[in-house]
Structure 1
């Protein structure tokens, strides 16, 4: 599968492989930029709503979600330093639990992740166009065209230059964190002034009704959704400089920083708005801005667009690496695993993932269906943490520059199992059955085309033509 079907690439003694261009600072910006999307700006109401407006419990849940995300990221850090290859969860599941489960993961991700990117692009288009239409809704066609333009701009950008993609991510992460800092510092200033209307929500934080177990679990779901993306670093392990040192430090910097910012921002919201105002607001940060800094309140809506753009850039970047790794393992067409001979980037993988995301933009129902694949995210996280435990016993002599405390991995497996089963048990819907059938239905393709390697010569001809058209070459695998 890995042979060159056309003329061999001739680059002297240089090896065709991804280059290590992501340093510590770029890595921190990448993780933070992936986690911090529109949610914390637009509508952080879910945690407060399901906490029954109990401010103290809501803040504890935000903290607990940050701790769980850090635990998961530390588990991934061990895997990323021991096996520093592109593909994230796919690579680890394949190594520890076998090829079939890895195929189920990539089969699900090929549908779910591009649809999520399409949703982000449409949300960006919504916020970018709305100022020009005032209270009237922007035309759907305009939003879809802008969403497509953004997808292809980022797809081409990341397909041409890893450094440029990382630079864009760094700039947009700094911009969105500056906006969060404005909100956080504004709250701190108001609290220091000590006015009664700003501090009243914190005087008896736990005085409201205590939520039951089901409501606490739902609030936990909402909080963890806002931390989504903490697993993204492992998708570019192959491109991180000195991964054995940088990956753990990136994780231990990024996750605590996001947790602290999330807490400060939520406290700031509560200094200005009542809990009822927060859960009824469509865009909490915008409402906050018009109350506190009305003369420059436009900064926050712009920051929402910036935040979405940055999160979309990192998501596009990671999805390309996932497709690239899947193709290297023979789970996707070989052309996707090739690198551009001009830019030394996985350009075919970026094109592949961008095309699928573009298709998802056209029908709105397709994006809506991705909501029912939410449990699959935690299923794969659970399988990845299980992979860590299995590898500890299967490969005890594997070089591990960083080792997480093993009970942390067991706790993550238990949490993942709960988060997979809870929505199915509490709110059973037929869509969950369809999603499960789709996930494991991928095995119908796995056994003939991957396991038994059924092959068609026509595919070789198509691959050859695409290789010449795109000017790409097979990689030289690392020996690390």
Structure 2
């Protein structure tokens, strides 16, 4: 849309559609695989596992409300990158893009493999699915989704609506089945809850790993900040949507986990591929979130008069930073694994690209030509005059235009 001679997105998403959109993004494949990882790292302790699921809901809500300040202060698409560049500098902003360049495809790959595994499992009863057919089917699914996204927004919206209905139908069926078994009071189902905390208690490192697994199922709550430029009144819409959607998601997840435990033994639940891949994604996600919260505090100090239509309470910000440090540092210090080293080496490898191509600006002419070519090929363009647009919004909020008096 053209506004004042510049390209800007239309603000067409309100509270209802924002809540439905956020709900459908969070409710994904994670709930079908994350319970396995949570139970594994909870030392098969049912009570600890359910407690971690409830705590993950609280942590996700706290982090989402803290994160919402970014989208309301800078109400535009891609707010995270702009915010990090403004608060912590281009170096940190580059690493945010560098991590997302690989962590986002890794998350999509995990979901594709999970879906392919569930589809092919009935053809291999009583044994594990071979890797080759599962990977080929996952690749085919990703290609189909890519083609669907390229066709337009209407097709994507239709597909998202249908897939959300299917997922909710499955989750409701699982929840009702498990609750019926619990209510009927069969001894083998109730014993797992009566002795919920009798198992081995996990150590701090295992609890951190369990949280990473559980929080993976809640991931996606930051999507509204990414599309803040398309939301009506972001300062009110984002916090309301976050609280409503995460409350519903937390209730469904707890019911589903109760049903899992009522039907299956803990050892039957924990059989999975994918647990390690979820750890990779969660580890990098919480590094980024910790940096964003640090930048939020720094910007509060550096620019105290910056227009902030929604200001999160500082205990939420400090709490999110504390959780980030716990989830990232505890496994590395207490029980370091090779995949932690791989992740850190991958993050630092971004220096090989940042120093020559960003800091020293080598080959900028060629990269500009490539960027222009891709924008023309894919028919995409960033919004114009970002700084000027935000400054104009701040001025309008402080000094709204006067309404001309009606002539008698």
Indicate the TM-score class for this superposition, using the shorter chain for normalisation. Answer: 0.7 to 0.9
Q: Does 1:445 align with 2:353?
A: yes
- Structure 1 residues 151, 274: CA separation in 2 closer, same or farther (over 3 Å shift)? closer
1:413 counterpart = 2:321: yes
Hey, what does 1:454 align to over in structure 2? 362
From the superposition, tell whether residues 476 and 414 of structure 1 become closer, same or farther in structure 2 (CA, over 3 Å).
Answer: same
Bigger shift: 205-214 or 261-270? 205-214
The alpha-carbon deviation at position 143 of structure 1 amounts to 4.5
Q: 2:210 aligns to what?
A: 219
Return closer, same or farther for 1:467/1:45 CA change in 2, 3 Å cut-off.
closer
Specify the alignment match of 1:376 in structure 2: 284
CA contact (8 A) 2:96 2:288 kept: yes
Gaps of 5+ in 2: 394-408
> Is the Cα–Cα contact under 8 Å of residues 116 and 138 in structure 2 kept in the other structure?
yes
What does 1:41-120 correspond to in 2, within 5 Å?
A: 41-42=32-33, 44-120=35-111
Distance in 1 between the 2:321 and 2:267 partners?
A: 36
Q: How does 1:231-250 map to 2 (within 5 A)?
A: 231-250=222-241
Give the C-alpha shift of residue 176 in structure 1.
0.9
Aligned counterparts of 1:141 and 1:277: Cα–Cα separation in 2:
24
CA 1:458 to 1:226, structure 2 compared with 1: closer, same or farther past 3 Å?
closer
* Change in CA separation of 1:155 and 1:69 when aligned onto 2, cut-off 3 Å: same
**Preserved CA contact (<8 Å) 2:205 2:331:** no
CA contact (8 A) 2:212 2:279 kept: no
What RMSD over aligned residues (CA atoms) do the two structures have, in Å?
3.4
Q: Does 1:423 align with 2:300?
A: no
Match of 1:183 among 174, 182, 185: 174
Q: Are the equivalent residues in 2 in contact too, given 1:85–1:91 (CA < 8 A)? A: no
1:387 maps to 295
Check whether the contact 2:9–2:229 (CA below 8 A) recurs between aligned residues. Answer: yes
Q: Aligned runs of 1:226-375 on 2, under 5 Å?
A: 226-279=217-270, 372=280, 374-375=282-283
Find the aligned partners of 2:122 and 2:99 in 1 and give their Cα distance: 36
Query: Does structure 2 conserve the Cα–Cα contact (< 8 Å) formed by 1:48 and 1:58?
Result: yes
Q: Is the CA contact (8 Å cut-off) linking 1:378 and 1:416 kept in structure 2?
A: yes
Matching of residue 432 in structure 1 with residue 340 in structure 2:
yes
1: CA distance, partners of 2:125 / 2:194 = 39
Q: Deviations over 1:271-327 (max 9, x none)?
A: 333434434x559xxxxxxxxxxxxxxxxxxxxxxxxxxxxxxxxxxxxxxxxxxxx
Q: Kindly tell me: are residues 134 and 166 of structure 1, through their superposed partners in 2, closer, same or farther at Cα, counting changes over 3 Å?
A: same
Residues 1:241 and 1:152: Cα distance change in structure 2 (over 3 Å): farther
CA distance in 2, matches of 1:442, 1:44: 33
- The answer to which of 235-244 and 124-133 deviates more is 124-133
The structural deviation recorded for 1:377 is 1.7
Q: Is the 8 A contact 1:26 1:166 kept in 2?
A: no
Distance (Å, rounded) in 2 between the aligned partners of 1:49 and 1:131: 24
CA drift of 1:101 comes to 0.5
Q: Summarize the Cα distance change of 1:465–1:206 in structure 2 as closer, same or farther, 3 Å threshold.
A: closer
CA 1:93 to 1:166, structure 2 compared with 1: closer, same or farther past 3 Å?
farther
**1:155-195 Cα distance to aligned partner (Å, 9 max, x none):** 34334433543443233223212221122222333333334
Question: Is the 2:215–2:282 contact (alpha carbons within 8 Å) kept by the matching residues of 1?
Answer: no
Q: Give 1:19's aligned residue.
A: 10
Residue pair 1:72, 1:231 contacting (<8 A) in 2 also: no
Q: 3-state DSSP class of the match of 2:7?
A: coil
Note the C-alpha offset of 1:85.
2.0
Alpha-carbon offset, residue 130 of structure 1 = 4.3
Asked if the contact 2:64–2:222 (Cα under 8 Å) also holds between the matched residues in 1, the reply is: yes
Q: 1:275 to 1:372 in 2, by over 3 A?
A: closer
Q: Which residue of 26, 33, 40 corresponds with 2:31?
A: 40
The residue number in structure 1 matching 2:398 is: none
CA distance in structure 1 between the partners assigned to 2:53 and 2:306 by the alignment: 36
Structure 1 unpaired stretches of 5+? 1-9, 284-363
In 2 relative to 1, CA 379–257 (structure 1 residues): closer, same or farther, beyond 3 Å?
same
Local SS of the residue matching 1:104: helix
Aligned counterpart, 1:28: 19
Change (3 A) 1:433 1:130: closer
Question: Residue 331 of structure 1 corresponds to which residue in structure 2?
Answer: none
